[in-house]
Structure 1
Amino acid sequence: MKKGRVTIIDIARELSIAPSTVSRALKDHPALKKETKDAVRALAKKLDYQPNLLALNLLQKKSNTIGVIVPEITSHFFSAIITGIQDVIGDSEYNIMICLSNESYEEEAVIIKKLLKIQVDGVLVSPTSETKNFDHFRTLQKNDIPVVVFDRDCPGLEADKVLVDDYAGAFQAVEYLIKSGCTKIAHLGGPLNLSTTKHRLQGYLDALENADIPIRKEYIEHVPGFSHDDGLKPAERLLKLEDLPDAIFAMNDNIAISAMHIARKMALKIPDDISIVGFDDEPHSSYFRPSLSTVWQPVYSLGMLSARIILHRLNDKGPQKNFRQEVFKPELVLRASSRECASRKNDKVKL
């Protein structure tokens, strides 16, 4: 027997039968004798035969692969989503291929082209903060490759979507700050192109308007990215205003923690001088001192549902229509970085 990967031809030669007979025996073809099938299986096990899935996929004109495109993978947010996806896909015939766009529209477009070349069967995508044109996603759909958009919306793109109610989360967070006595609430928002940024900003604005609190442009800063470093200078600008805010609602926990860092450098007491609330409920947020009030998102469930929808599309051979839009409700988690109000009874307030 030759060294290297064992093939059907090697097994056939060893048993003096046709390769087609080996193939049928491995598939338990009813027309073959039991003795033949047993002999083939025994030799295949002895030689550690592994089927060539690439060749099989080429014959079937499918790759049994689902592409997962995310902006980054270092945060708990996206790693938890990917875990949810894998826990569902892992029980199916499909494999996942994780692709990082690094918040770059150009990289995202290149990834789509590569996935098309390898005949990927479906795509799960959270678009980049630069993505304004969705034609590359439509190209996938034109090639009968289903697309599920998760976390970040693509307005105008007809596709299955799994999102979180960012507006409701932001509104509830700011409403709570108002009820706790804050009247000068600032906002550290994300990149303006993102749907999540727009929805959280609108929730902030509407909560202020609902309470008849004037909206002050100088209290709104937008960060270029989502890391701690991205939030430092915008937070410093807010906390150097002559009329200092008494609260900050931040786009995410990293940015909120940046604001906490600047506040401590300026000898401001949290929450006595300023309350700070984030968004995402990253695992480390509860371990800061003071612990961070934030908005929790069901990210693992978001990943699982996205995976279930793509599997449903792949099993449904009909035309893509009646697209689903599923929206999860977040929860406000109250900790030590925000003032308490008289009505506070629990550490977690459901929206």
Structure 2
Amino acid sequence: MKKGRVTIKDIARELKIAPSTVSRALNDHPAIKKETKDAVKALAEALDYQPNLLALNLLQKKSNTIGVIVPEITGHFFSAIITGIQDVIVDSEYNIMICLSNESYEEELTIVKRLSKIQIDGVLVAPSSETKDFDHFRRLQKSGIPVVVFDRDCPGLEADKVLVDDYFGAFQAVEYLIGTGCKNIAHLGGPLNLSTTEQRLQGYLDALEKNKVPINSDYIVHIPGFAHKDAVKATKKLLDLQICPDAIFAYNDKIAISAIHIAKKMGLKIPEDVSVLGFDDEPHSSFMTPPLSTVWQPVYSMGMLSARILLSHLKNKNNVLEFRKEVFKPELVIRASSR
């Protein structure tokens, strides 16, 4: 027997039967005798024969693979979502292919083109922070590939969506800060074109307005990215104002932790001088000094539900299913970084 991958032809040669007979025997075809089936299956097991799924997929015009496109996986947020997706997909006939856009629209576009070429069966996507046009997702849909959007919305795109009520989370956070006596509340916002940035900003503004707290545009600073360095300049700008903020509501925990670090370096005490509140409830946030107050999101559940919705489309390809929009409610988690 030759070295390398064992094929149906190799089994046929050993048993001196036709390759088509081997194929039918492996698939329990009723026209093949039991003795032949037993012999074929025994030899296949002995030789560790594995079917060529790529060839089968080409014949069936499907890949049995689901593409998952996320901006990054270094943090807890997207890795937890992927875990939720995997825990649902593992019991199905599908595999998942994880693709990173690195917060780049161009990379996201390239990924979508490649996925469509390998006959991907469905796509789960959290759009990059640069993505403003969604035609590449529409092209997937037109070619019969279902798309489920999660975490970050794609306004105007008709698709299944699994989101978190960012507005509600931000509103609750800022109203809590007001309730503790904070009067000069700043907001460190995310990249401007993200739906999550817009919703959290609006929640911040409406909470101030509802509680008759004056809105000061100097207290609103948006940062271009999510790394520590992106938050440093913005935080210093806020804390150098003539009237220093007595609270900071940050777009996410990474930015909030950076704000605490900079505030401490500038000689300010947390929360005595400045309360800081984040968004996401990353696992390490509770181990900060002081532990970070934040807004918890059900990220694992978001991943699970996204996968279930996509599987429902794949199992009902002949039936027209209405697009679903599911929105989870976040919860406020109060720790020692706020009054």
Q: Return the TM-score normalized by structure 2.
A: 0.99
Cα distance, 1:34 vs structure 2: 1.5
CA contact (8 A) 2:8 2:23 kept: yes
Gaps of 5+ in 2: none
Q: Could you tell me how far apart the structure 2 residues matched to 1:217 and 1:17 are?
A: 81
Q: Secondary structure at the match of 1:235?
A: helix
Structure 1, residues 131-186: CA drift from partner, whole Å, max 9, x if none? 11000000000100000000000000000000000000000000100111111100
For 1:101, give the aligned amino acid.
Answer: S
Cα distance, 1:91 vs structure 2: 1.2
2:206: which partner in 1?
206
1:9: which partner in 2?
9
1:281 aligns with 2:275: no
Cα distance, 1:31 vs structure 2: 2.6
Q: Could you tell me how far apart the structure 2 residues matched to 1:325 and 1:72 are?
A: 24
1:309: which partner in 2?
309
1:268: which partner in 2?
268
Q: Could you tell me how far apart the structure 2 residues matched to 1:64 and 1:180 are?
A: 53
The size of the alignment, in residue pairs, is 339
2:133: which partner in 1?
133
Structure 1, residues 300-346: CA drift from partner, whole Å, max 9, x if none? 1111111111111111113655100001111110000000xxxxxxx
1:322: which partner in 2?
322
1:45: which partner in 2?
45
2:173: which partner in 1?
173
Q: Secondary structure at the match of 1:215?
A: coil
2:189: which partner in 1?
189
Q: Could you tell me how far apart the structure 2 residues matched to 1:323 and 1:31 are?
A: 44
Structure 2 counterparts to residues 293-304 of structure 1, below 5 A:
293-304=293-304
Structure 2 counterparts to residues 1-351 of structure 1, below 5 A:
1-318=1-318, 320-339=320-339
**1:320/1:126 CA distance change after superposition, 3 Å:** farther
Q: Secondary structure at the match of 2:12?
A: helix
Structure 1, residues 214-253: CA drift from partner, whole Å, max 9, x if none? 1100000001111222111101100000001110000000
Structure 1, residues 287-308: CA drift from partner, whole Å, max 9, x if none? 1100000001011111111111
Q: Could you tell me how far apart the structure 1 residues matched to 2:127 and 2:153 are?
A: 8
Runs of 4+ more than 3 Å apart: none
1:347: which partner in 2?
none
Q: Could you tell me how far apart the structure 1 residues matched to 2:266 and 2:163 are?
A: 37
User: Equivalent pairs: percent with the same residue?
Assistant: 78
Structure 1, residues 12-59: CA drift from partner, whole Å, max 9, x if none? 111111111111111112232211111111000000000000000000
CA contact (8 A) 1:146 1:320 kept: no
For 1:74, give the aligned amino acid.
Answer: T
Q: Could you tell me how far apart the structure 1 residues matched to 2:42 and 2:244 are?
A: 78
CA contact (8 A) 1:239 1:245 kept: yes
**1:312/1:321 CA distance change after superposition, 3 Å:** closer
Q: Could you tell me how far apart the structure 2 residues matched to 1:231 and 1:154 are?
A: 25
Structure 1, residues 251-290: CA drift from partner, whole Å, max 9, x if none? 0000001110111011111111110000000111011100
CA contact (8 A) 2:12 2:19 kept: yes
More off after superposition, 30-39 vs 106-115: 30-39
Q: Could you tell me how far apart the structure 1 residues matched to 2:207 and 2:30 are?
A: 69
For 1:82, give the aligned amino acid.
Answer: I
Q: Secondary structure at the match of 1:317?
A: coil
Q: Could you tell me how far apart the structure 2 residues matched to 1:123 and 1:134 are?
A: 14
Q: Could you tell me how far apart the structure 1 residues matched to 2:167 and 2:228 are?
A: 23
CA contact (8 A) 1:62 1:119 kept: yes
CA contact (8 A) 1:250 1:277 kept: yes
Q: Could you tell me how far apart the structure 1 residues matched to 2:73 and 2:229 are?
A: 17
For 1:212, give the aligned amino acid.
Answer: K
For 1:192, give the aligned amino acid.
Answer: L
CA contact (8 A) 1:81 1:301 kept: yes
Q: Could you tell me how far apart the structure 2 residues matched to 1:320 and 1:227 are?
A: 42
Q: Could you tell me how far apart the structure 1 residues matched to 2:319 and 2:61 are?
A: 18
For 2:121, give the aligned amino acid.
Answer: D
